[in-house]
Amino acid sequence: MASFCLYLDPRRAAALYSANLALSRQFGSSIGIANGTVGLARANHQLGQLHQARQILEQGLFWLVDGSSDRTGAGNVGELHARMGQLHYEWNRLGEVEACLRQAEAANEL
C-alpha cells in the first residue's frame, strides 16, 4: 500500500475534515467530498477507529458514485477504494483487499 500520512493531532484533523466534509456535501463539491472523506478516514484509522473509518469511506463512495450530480471528483474514487483496501488489509481480509484494489484501478482508468 501507499504511504500512510500520520497526523500530529488526529483528533483535530478529524474535526477539521468533518467540517470540510459537511460543507462539501452542502455545496455538492465532489472534490471536497473525496478529499474530506479520505482525510477523515485516515484520521480515524490513525486513532484506531477502523470500523468508523470504513463507514466514512462507504458513505463517501455512496455519495460520489450514487448520490452526486457533480462528477468532477470521480477520479478520486480510486483513492477511496484503495483506502478501503488498507482497512481490509488490517483485518487480514486479503480477498477483499484485492477487490478494493481492482475497483481503485478501474476507477482511475475512467
Nearest Cα neighbor of 94 from 11, 1, 19 is: 1
C-alpha to C-alpha distance for 3 and 45, rounded to whole angstroms: 13
% of the chain residues with pLDDT over 70: 85
Q: Which CB contacts under 8 angstroms, 24+ apart, belong to 1-5?
A: 1/82, 1/85, 1/86, 1/89, 2/82, 4/42, 4/45, 4/86, 5/42
Encode pLDDT of 23-37 as tens digits.
999 998 889 999 999
- Superfamily per CATH, domain 10-108: Tetratricopeptide repeat domain (1.25.40.10)
- Please report the pLDDT score of residue 8 as a whole number: 87
* pTM attached to this predicted model: 0.84
- Please report the pLDDT score of residue 44 as a whole number: 96
Q: Quick one: pLDDT band at residue 4, thresholds 50, 70, 90?
A: low
Angle value at C-alpha 67, between 62 and 72, nearest 5 degrees: 95
Grid cell at residue 37: 472523506
- Count the Cβ atoms, other than its own, within 10 Å of residue 92: 8
- Where in the chain are the domains? 10-108
Candidate from 4-8, 67-71, 73-77, 82-86 with smallest mean pLDDT:
67-71
Residue 4, C-beta contacts closer than 8 angstroms, at least 6 positions apart: 42, 45, 86
